[in-house]
Amino acid sequence: MANPNILSASSVVGFSGVTVVNPASVTAYFGAVASGKVRRITNLTVCNWESSACFITISIGASGHSQGTGTTILHQKSVAAGGTFDVLNGDETIHLQESNIIQASAEAGNKLNLLITYEEIT
């Protein structure tokens, strides 16, 4: 891996995105980090916009990992109906090295949204 020294970064570009979390099939969010880049994840927020609670699981690992082979950072966390949950809120961050991704799955489809805010550092 040719991850850059982030203390001597030449570029830091911010991004945000929202996606619906699906059940059964684990979905990769926001793609693998390109060669020579690091992503600094500053916010992960789960929003349940339905009328019943729903569980979410989130993992980090190499592109194409299963939740069994990745590192689970949140396991079957119940998000209340109409509620939100901050997985990361800016006080703590995660640095994704090249080829690593975040994956998430929910117990039911079309109930949970995942908001991610990150900086791509080169």
CA distance 96 to 80: 28
- Give the least confident one: 22-36, 39-53, 96-110: 22-36
Spatial distance between the Cα atoms of 5 and 32, rounded to a whole number of angstroms: 19
Query: What's the order of all strands across the beta sheet hosting 100-106?
Result: 27-29, 100-106, 54-62, 71-79
Per-residue pLDDT of 10-29, as tens digits, reads 889 999 999 888 885 566 66
Domains and CATH numbers, the chain: 19-121 (2.60.120)
Query: 56-97 pLDDT, tens per residue?
Result: 988 888 776 666 667 888 899 999 999 999 999 878 899 888
pLDDT at residue 5 greater than cutoff 90? no
pLDDT at 105: 87
Q: What is the pLDDT of residue 99?
A: 78
Band the pLDDT of 53: cuts 50, 70, 90.
Answer: very high
Indicate if the pLDDT at residue 4 is higher than 80: no
Whether 33 contacts 121, CB under 8 Å: no
